[in-house]
Amino acid sequence: MDDDQQNSEIEKIANLMVHDDISPDEQDVAKLEKYKNQIKEDCDLDDENALKMVYEALLYRKLKHSDSSDVLEKGNEFGAGFS
C-alpha cells in the first residue's frame, strides 16, 4: 500500500470514529475492533498492522483538532515522538 492509500484509509477510519462518537483517546481494543476489521478488509492487512493504522487514525484526529498550528510543537503531547 502506498502512502496515499494509507492516508486515505486513515482519514476514512477517523471519520467513521467521529460518526460513531468514539473518543480520540480511546484505548479499549474491544471498542476499536470494528475499525481494525474494516482496515483488514479494505487493505488486506494482518491484525497487528491494522491495529497500528487504527491508532494512527486516533492520532490523526487529535492532531487535526489540536489548537496549535505547529504539529511539531504539540507532537510530544500525543506521544508522537517529534523532537
CA quadruple 26, 31, 33, 34: dihedral sign: negative
Task: Tell me what pLDDT residue 10 has.
Answer: 95
User: CA of 31: how far to CAs of 21, 70, 78, in Å?
Assistant: 11, 30, 20
Task: Tell me what pLDDT residue 79 has.
Answer: 56
The domain spans of the chain are 3-69
User: N- to C-terminal Cα distance for the chain?
Assistant: 27
pLDDT per residue as tens digits for the range 12-71? 999 999 999 999 999 999 999 999 999 999 999 999 999 999 999 999 999 988 765 555
